[in-house]
């Protein structure tokens, strides 16, 4: 009998304001990495609640996801895989972020070009992919026209 495939369920949020995106700088296994506010789903919380919690923990900002950018499947290695629910928030003005999580060194408001230039310092290829998807969706529609949160059923049975 083969072992069942069990990817980690994670959430992330593209937070955008006036052409800049909020990223967190963190130390992972001794290396500096950049990512959106992101983390794992915890027991007894919805995907949307997990995202809001991670935003608070990693930025100190009490923000709620406004829409869905995409759902991504990513294998970091043969033993480590993820299903990542990525949300978005559009802000009218940049807010100062003060991380509560001690693993987060600081936060940065960066343009897409600055983020791409970080290259191997990005936590995963999903950082640029989800921002590019956010930008493409916003170009096609008004930013508030991303996939609605109602797509996810958050009721527990």
For every one of its 157 residues, what pLDDT tens digit does the chain have, with 9 covering 90 and above? 678 888 999 999 999 999 999 999 999 989 999 999 999 999 999 999 999 999 999 999 999 999 999 999 988 888 889 999 999 999 999 999 999 999 999 999 999 999 999 999 999 999 999 999 999 888 765 545 677 777 776 555 4
In DSSP notation, 60-114 reads -------EEEEEEEEESSSS-EEEEEEEEEE-SS-------STTEEEEEEE-HHH
H/E element, 133: helix 126-140
User: How many residues appear in the chain?
Assistant: 157
Largest Cα–Cα separation, the chain: 54
Rounded to two decimals, the pTM is 0.90
């Amino acid at each position: 009998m083969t072992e069942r495939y069990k990817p980690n369920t994670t959430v992330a949020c593209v937070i955008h304001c006036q052409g800049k995106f909020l990223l967190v700088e963190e130390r992972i296994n001794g290396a500096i990495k950049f990512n959106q506010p992101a983390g794992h789903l915890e027991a007894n919380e919805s995907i949307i609640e997990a995202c809001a919690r991670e935003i608070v923990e990693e930025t100190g900002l009490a923000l709620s996801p406004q829409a869905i950018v995409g759902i991504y499947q990513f294998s970091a290695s043969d033993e480590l895989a993820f299903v990542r629910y990525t949300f978005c928030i559009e802000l009218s003005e940049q807010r100062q972020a003060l991380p509560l999580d001690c693993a987060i060194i600081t936060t940065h408001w960066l343009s897409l070009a600055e983020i791409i230039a970080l290259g191997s310092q990005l936590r995963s290829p999903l950082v640029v992919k989800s921002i590019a998807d956010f930008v493409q969706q916003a170009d096609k529609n008004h930013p508030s026209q991303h996939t609605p949160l109602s797509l996810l059923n958050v009721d527990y049975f």
